[in-house]
Structure 1
Amino acid sequence: MAMFPALMNDTMFSDLFDDPFFAGWRNTANGAADAMMANNMMTTDVRETSNGYDVDIDMPGFKKEDINLELQNGYLTVSAHRDSEHDDKDDDGKWLRRERYAGSCSRSFYVGEDVKESDIHASYKNGTLCLQVPKMQEQPQVEAKHQIAIEG
């Protein structure tokens, strides 16, 4: 449920709630803020090449060790998890600021059941995960011949 729902619909306070501090508060009742945050993570570009697909996934803030790639039943799943903690104290040991963050995200792509782990190449540079995925080999459809008996 959104905090101060009557105020957020009032135009008098709309500038106040446009501040980045309040980002996501407007539509939290229906989960739209969660969807907005998820849409901003792992934005993906896919380019077709002659041999396959180049997939670039933006994952800023993650380290290479935080990222996991898994291939199962033809689906390539990219997931990442990060925990961080930042503490600042004054000279007397009193807290001035203490922040914690824990988050994870994942995304799956169907790459085909014929693709093996060794076929996929991955690199991570400047906050972007770069994948090279081969195209699925199309199996030629061989039509079975069926003989039809001629009755006499």
Structure 2
Amino acid sequence: MMMPSIFGRDMFDDFFGYPFDVVRTSDAVKSTMMQTDVKETDQGYEVTMNIPGVKKEDVKAELKDGYLTIQATTNGGNDEKDNNGRYIRRERHYGTCSRSFYVGEEVKQEEIKARFEDGTLKLFVPKKDAKQTVEQKKYITIEG
């Protein structure tokens, strides 16, 4: 016998299979949005990022202060009307997500290669040796 829950979930969840559960929906989106694989090669790093349902023009990549930031924006909707033009259901979803990776301040923007195809962004980031800074000792003059 199906009884509505009063603790832990809404009573509508039992009848409709969680359609109103925003937390579960957003968790599912979080788990699939911008999943990233990073593979190290001799020449650099191959980054593969899943961005399903996003168009190429809605994906931005920026290199600033040694951080490579990928940002994706989605703006969609699902309108359904009956024969008289009245809405039966109207849903809209908007959102922005981003990921940042430290690639080093030695990497230049023009050295990073990017390609977006079928909801997958592929980047190649070359390896650069970090500049070795020689620490110079500075002494404080002691009078007396």
Relative to total residues, which structure has the larger helix share, 1 or 2? 1
> Deviations along 1:11-60, whole A, 9 cap, x unmatched?
xx8x939x35255547xxxxxx8666434321100000110000000100
RMSD (CA atoms): 3.0
- Offset at 1:132? 0.2
Q: TM-score, normalised by structure 2?
A: 0.75
1:72 alignment counterpart = 64
CA shift, 1:8, in A, is: 1.9
DSSP-derived class of the 1:118 partner: helix
Give the number of equivalent residue pairs: 131
Letter paired with 1:111: V
Identity, in percent, stands at 45
- The one-letter amino acid of 1:123's match is R
Q: Distance in 1 between matches of 2:103 and 2:95?
A: 26
Which secondary structure state, in structure 1, belongs to the residue aligned with residue 101 of structure 2?
Answer: strand
Aligned-partner residue type, residue 133 of structure 1? V
Equivalent position of 1:21 in the other structure: 19
Q: Paired residue for 1:7?
A: 7
Question: 1:43, 1:98 → 2: CA distance?
Answer: 29
Q: TM-score, normalised by structure 1?
A: 0.72
* Structure 1 stretch displaced more, 60-69 or 86-95: 86-95
